[in-house]
């Protein structure tokens, strides 16, 4: 083999999944998703005559390198992730804060029990617990908004 031939990629080199993962920089599940959804992603080559699920497959190194090269070329044409200007929240801030407070209350049941007063007949019957959690969540939200406004004042 001449020095010139050694410098050229061999189009018949077959790589397996670990090498594919290392070359393309994608996780195994993402590769399977690309195979399903991306017609430009290199297709596997069956390595045996078996049609059984899990039969050994490989990928042509030259096709994988060409696909990576096209991805690099796309990078220079247009940014993959465009920077967006911050927009106003689609949910009112009070509702957003209340939602976060409610998540905290529900995730920390011991906190709910410690701030909850004696259970009323309505709560012990199980009908007012949800309303109580919503009420407390909005109390937290109002407190967060008040602190936010206080901090914004010069």
Reported as a single tens digit per residue, the pLDDT across 61-95 is 999 999 999 888 887 665 555 666 666 667 788 88
Q: Convert the pLDDT of each residue in 14-38 to its tens digit.
A: 999 999 999 999 999 999 999 999 9
Q: What is the CATH number of domain 10-77?
A: 1.10.1660
Q: Which residues contact 59 (CB under 8 A, 6 or more apart)?
A: 14, 15, 16, 20, 42, 43, 44, 45
Which pLDDT score is estimated for 121? 47
3-class DSSP state for residue 111? helix
pLDDT at residue 152 in the model: 81
Distance CA 96, CA 76 (A): 38
- Type and span of the H or E element at 32: helix 28-37
24, 27, 29, 32: CA torsion to nearest 10: 10
Domain boundaries, the chain: 10-77, 93-152
């Amino acid at each position: 083999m001449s020095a010139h031939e050694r410098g050229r990629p061999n189009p018949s080199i077959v790589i397996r999944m670990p090498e594919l993962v290392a070359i393309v920089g994608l996780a195994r599940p993402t590769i399977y998703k690309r195979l399903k959804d991306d017609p430009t992603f290199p297709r596997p080559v069956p390595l045996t005559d078996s049609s059984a699920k899990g039969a050994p497959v490989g990928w042509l190194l030259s096709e994988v390198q060409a696909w990576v090269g096209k991805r690099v070329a796309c990078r220079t044409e247009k940014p993959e992730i465009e920077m967006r200007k911050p927009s106003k929240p689609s949910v009112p801030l009070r509702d957003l804060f209340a939602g976060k407070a409610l998540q905290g209350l529900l995730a920390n049941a011991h906190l709910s029990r410690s701030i909850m007063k004696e259970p009323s007949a309505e709560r012990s019957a199980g009908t007012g617990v949800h309303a109580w959690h919503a009420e407390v969540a909005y109390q937290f939200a109002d407190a967060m908004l008040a602190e936010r406004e206080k901090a914004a004042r010069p």
